[in-house]
Amino acid sequence: MNCMVAFTARDTIHSMQSISDGDTIVSADETFALGFFSPGTSKNRYLGIWFNKDPAKTVAWVANREKPLTHSSGVLMLNDTGILLLLDHNNSLIWSSNTTRSLLNPIAKLSNSGNLVVQESSNSVATKEDFVWQSFDYPCDTLLPGQKLGRNLKTGQNRFLTSWNSSDDPFPGSYTLEFNVNGYPQLVLKEGTSIRFRAGSWNGDQFSGTPQLKGNSGFRYIFVSNEEEIYFMYELINSSIPHRVFLTPEGINERSEWNTDTMSWTNLAKLPADDCDYYETCGAYSSCNINNYPMCSCLEGFVQDNDNKKKQQGLSDGCVRRTSLDCYGDGFLKYSGLKFPDTERSWFSRNMSIEDCKMLCLKNCSCMAYAALDISEGGSGCLMWFGDLNDIKDLSPDSLQDIYIRMAATELAFIVFRWKMLRKGVICDQHEEDLQLPLFDMSTISSATNNFSTDNILGKGGFGPVYKGVLKDGKEIAVKRLLQTSSQGIQEFKNEVMHIAKLQHRNLVKLLGCSIYAEERLLVYEFMPNKSLDYFIFDEKKGMLLDWPARLHIINGIARGLLYLHQDSRHRIIHRDLKAANVLLDDEMNPKISDFGLARSFGGNEAEANTQHVVGTYGYLSPEYVIDGVYSTKSDVFSFGVLVLEIVSGKRNQGFNHQDHHFNLLGHAWRLFMEGKGYELICGAIKDTSNLFAVVRSINVGLLCVQQNPDDRPSMSTVVLMLSSESALPQPKMPGFFTEREMGGDASSSSSYKLFSNNDFTDSFLEAR
């Protein structure tokens, strides 16, 4: 040890220099540091690399994760041939780099990328080829920008992530993220030897099963697969913002970005994201959709297998062909928007056209499907599957991934015939593309509603009356009938069909079909036996039927439905008329958002829009929409906040009055909450069944949603998290439309009235709904 000297350069260790426990070296840009640390509550010491500006010292790499130091007297040195040595207090070797090539004047340098490299000191501008050893070749649980994940096919080196055993123990845990190179290479997350999640194969733009991880303006993905190596890595466009992909001890692959404002990590994505991401949740030829129940459904041309062990769990043992293949008379059926099946039993060629791929698959009776290998430039290359097709998931309909699955000729003829019959009468409006809905005969609807009897009317809205109907098979329906005198209703009819036809979520009302006859325009919905939410919460006696657990269930369901509209639907959809009357309740009091006549959708990177024709319902509209005609997802968040406060209080925001002040419900709730008296808002119907902490937390969330500035309001994804956790919530700022004054006549019947906010906005008049 006497021959060693202390290090001098801040980011470099020179030959025969050492660093002791308590010393660190720091990258030139100060992003990363290398030194000794103890994770969590552990007293063991490890040599590692961490994010230097992170107060928590989040670790990106550990040298001796399998052999900890038990004393704080460890030493790291670089010997004269270029080998890094980690020694304990007895000079016993704990860990070393496996450098095979000797150097004349070696240095170890911590780069700005977080990579610890060993190279010749004379080579000031070293490339990767100049490194005789680098930590990037031996990842732990974290993948950094510019770091390869994959295999070197010549040397056999396999770079993969391995989870920590726990947050206190970096010993290799149960989970790995690596490439399966059997068939066409695919990225898989494994628990031991079993696959837990399959990101899928690379399709030229992204991994086929993870459309949410597609590259954007902030970073780009790189995938290389050739005779020498198979690897994936990502590069940041703005390298000044630290970023990491890491594998948690619980087996979740997370991608996060450093937030300089909060001095903490912001989670951008995680996988598996839902139950459908887990490997083979559904069996062969069955696709998984988290928004459906059951989640698993057979692909077109396939039927449920007779062995239904998982049916009670909403799962599937898989599907079988409705018609057996006969090989030489077969054809192919195109499927879009699916996660490509497991490619372990596949074959691929990069230099084959898609038409040649089809012919080659058709000639091979064992080939069950084919697809373009690369979809990034119109489709090129060939990917063919052999054996059953497994681990399929429904993705966005916008996905450009098309797969062609082998079918018997008679089955194809049957499917094509049925599609043609559907298209003869399924397009409700010829001006809208691809809106396929069952078309009900006018006579069927008339008979079901007893010729639109007034006794069958369930309610009335801006669109027109809603009737209850009963079909011949006994199924109950709700029929919305467009008022023939309403020019606005025509547009609302088109709007509702366009926005809800393809939406599938447990908290959205389901559109069953439509009917068009002469001037009649009808929409047919599933029937909701418990009417709408306002029927209960604003009535003292009926409100007793909804205890606090039921109301909290309804609040959570509405939140999840809005989250689907804002984030997970085909387009970002703004409802614009969320209110208690537009939340329907099924036979189990599950909430379903309805009435999409005023909805608008955003495409691409659109975040907001404005209009000169402000429509909606008094008491639920956000200030920026009323004053400036600006609407966005945050407009719906405001309406949701109003709804939460109404559900808790049993009072309407519109027309609310109190003997002690002139505040509306929002102002009243905020005032009580800020005085520590939020519990006084709770309506009598739920006082005996309420959990005080949960109710006051819901009030807090509601007030955060109705804050004046839309930027202060949380997104619906944040709302869902706040409602489901017990972490501390921020204090809400003053709500928008804090007071209402000078209201003309009865608020419930007035077609217009002046709105005053806490900032004395100019009054604005709205078209009533």
* Res 437: pLDDT: 65
DSSP E strands, 16-168: 17-20, 24-26, 32-37, 46-51, 59-62, 75-78, 84-87, 93-96, 106-110, 116-120, 133-134, 142-143, 149-152, 158-159, 161-166
Is pLDDT of 359 > 80? yes
Distance of alpha carbon 680 from alpha carbon 687, whole angstroms: 10
* Res 759: pLDDT: 34
**Nearest Cα to 509, choosing from 575, 451, 596?**
596
Give the pLDDT mean for 346-354.
94
* Res 709: pLDDT: 95
> 123 — phi, psi (to 5°)?
-95, 90
* Res 51: pLDDT: 97
Distance of alpha carbon 329 from alpha carbon 314, whole angstroms: 36
* Res 606: pLDDT: 64
Distance of alpha carbon 769 from alpha carbon 763, whole angstroms: 18
Query: Exposed, middle or buried by CB within 10 Å (0-12, 13-18, 19+), for 239?
Result: middle
Active site residue 391: no
Distance of alpha carbon 727 from alpha carbon 375, whole angstroms: 43
* Res 384: pLDDT: 97
Write the pLDDT tens digit of every residue in 36-79.
999 999 999 999 999 999 999 999 999 999 999 999 999 999 99
Query: Exposed, middle or buried by CB within 10 Å (0-12, 13-18, 19+), for 159?
Result: buried
* Res 757: pLDDT: 34
Determine if residue 53 is left, alpha or beta; phi over 0 gives left, psi from -120 to 50 gives alpha, anything else beta: alpha
* Res 127: pLDDT: 62
- Calculate the CA 122 to chain-centre distance: 49
Distance of alpha carbon 51 from alpha carbon 85, whole angstroms: 23
* Res 427: pLDDT: 40
Tell me the residue type at 9: A
Distance of alpha carbon 531 from alpha carbon 459, whole angstroms: 9
Tell me the residue type at 282: C
3-class DSSP state for residue 373? coil
Contacts of 585 (CB under 8 A, 6+ apart): 528, 530, 531, 532, 533, 536, 554, 591, 592
* Res 310: pLDDT: 45
More confident residue, 3 or 557: 557
Write the pLDDT tens digit of every residue in 418-455.
554 444 443 444 343 444 567 787 888 999 999 999 99
* Res 125: pLDDT: 58
Distance of alpha carbon 697 from alpha carbon 666, whole angstroms: 15
Q: Are 293 and 309 in contact (CB under 8 A)?
A: no
Confidence of residue 743 (pLDDT cuts 50, 70, 90): very low
Contacts of 660 (CB under 8 A, 6+ apart): none
In three state form, how does the secondary structure of 498-552 look?
HHHCCCCCCCECCEEEEEEECCEEEEEEECCCCCECHHHHCCCCHHHHCCHHHHH
Confidence of residue 322 (pLDDT cuts 50, 70, 90): confident
Distance of alpha carbon 68 from alpha carbon 74, whole angstroms: 10
* Res 397: pLDDT: 64
More confident residue, 86 or 521: 86
* Res 215: pLDDT: 59
Write the pLDDT tens digit of every residue in 101-135.
888 899 999 999 999 999 998 765 556 667 899 99
Is pLDDT of 366 > 60? yes
C-alpha pair distances (Å), 312 with each of 286, 309, 520:
16, 7, 42
Distance of alpha carbon 14 from alpha carbon 700, whole angstroms: 57
Is pLDDT of 417 > 50? no
> 363 — phi, psi (to 5°)?
-80, -15
* Res 440: pLDDT: 80
List of domains in the chain: 1-135 (2.90.10.10), 139-273 (2.90.10), 282-418 (no CATH), 430-526 (3.30.200.20), 534-724 (1.10.510.10)
Residue linked to tokens 């900032």: 759
Q: Are strands 367-371 and 382-386 parallel, antiparallel or unpaired?
A: antiparallel
**Ranges 19-33, 326-340, 633-647, 694-708: which has the least confidence:** 326-340
C-alpha pair distances (Å), 54 with each of 245, 286, 626:
16, 45, 43
Query: Exposed, middle or buried by CB within 10 Å (0-12, 13-18, 19+), for 55?
Result: exposed
Give the DSSP letter of residue 756.
B
**Nearest Cα to 366, choosing from 392, 327, 331?**
327
3-class DSSP state for residue 627? helix
Distance of alpha carbon 572 from alpha carbon 370, whole angstroms: 32
In three state form, how does the secondary structure of 630-692 look?
EEEHHHHHHHHHHHHHHHHHCCCCCCCCECCECECHHHHHHHHHHCCCHHHHCCHHHCCCCCH
Give the pLDDT mean for 730-742.
77
Is pLDDT of 517 > 90? no
Q: Which two tokens stand for residue 270?
A: 């995680």
272: preceding bond cis by omega (within 30 degrees): yes
Give the pLDDT mean for 185-195.
95
C-alpha pair distances (Å), 541 with each of 48, 546, 665, 685:
64, 10, 21, 8
> 220 — phi, psi (to 5°)?
-135, 150
What is the CB neighbour count within 10 angstroms for residue 271? Answer: 23
Relative orientation angle of helices 633-649 and 665-674, to the nearest 10 degrees: 70
* Res 768: pLDDT: 40
Give the pLDDT mean for 637-647.
97
Is pLDDT of 180 > 80? yes
Give the DSSP letter of residue 60.
E
* Res 429: pLDDT: 40
Question: ∠ CA 539-544-549 to the nearest 5 degrees?
Answer: 120
Give exposure, 736-768, as e/b (b: 16+ Cβ within 10 Å): bbbbbeebeeebeeeeebebbbbeebeebebee
More confident residue, 768 or 553: 553
Confidence of residue 237 (pLDDT cuts 50, 70, 90): confident
Q: Which two tokens stand for residue 433?
A: 């593309």
Give exposure, 691-726, as e/b (b: 16+ Cβ within 10 Å): eeeebbbbbbbbbbbbbbebeebbebeebbebbeee
Residue linked to tokens 């509550």: 41
Q: Are 230 and 412 in contact (CB under 8 A)?
A: no
Q: What is the chain's mean pLDDT, rounded?
A: 85
Is pLDDT of 518 > 70? no
Distance of alpha carbon 732 from alpha carbon 289, whole angstroms: 36
Q: Which two tokens stand for residue 168?
A: 């206190």
* Res 744: pLDDT: 37
Distance of alpha carbon 719 from alpha carbon 710, whole angstroms: 14
Contacts of 182 (CB under 8 A, 6+ apart): 344, 345
Query: Exposed, middle or buried by CB within 10 Å (0-12, 13-18, 19+), for 12?
Result: middle
Residue linked to tokens 């097709």: 389
Contacts of 4 (CB under 8 A, 6+ apart): 16, 17, 18, 75, 77
* Res 123: pLDDT: 62
Q: Which two tokens stand for residue 615?
A: 């429509």
* Res 428: pLDDT: 44
Of the residues 577, 636, 660, 688, only one is catalytic, namely 577
* Res 642: pLDDT: 97
Give the pLDDT mean for 455-469.
85
Q: Which long-range contacts (CB under 8 A, 24 or more apart) does 722-726 make?
A: 722/697, 723/555, 723/556, 723/559, 723/697, 723/698, 724/556, 726/697
Give the pLDDT mean for 568-583.
87
Is pLDDT of 603 > 70? no
Is pLDDT of 93 > 90? yes
More confident residue, 211 or 674: 674
* Res 462: pLDDT: 62
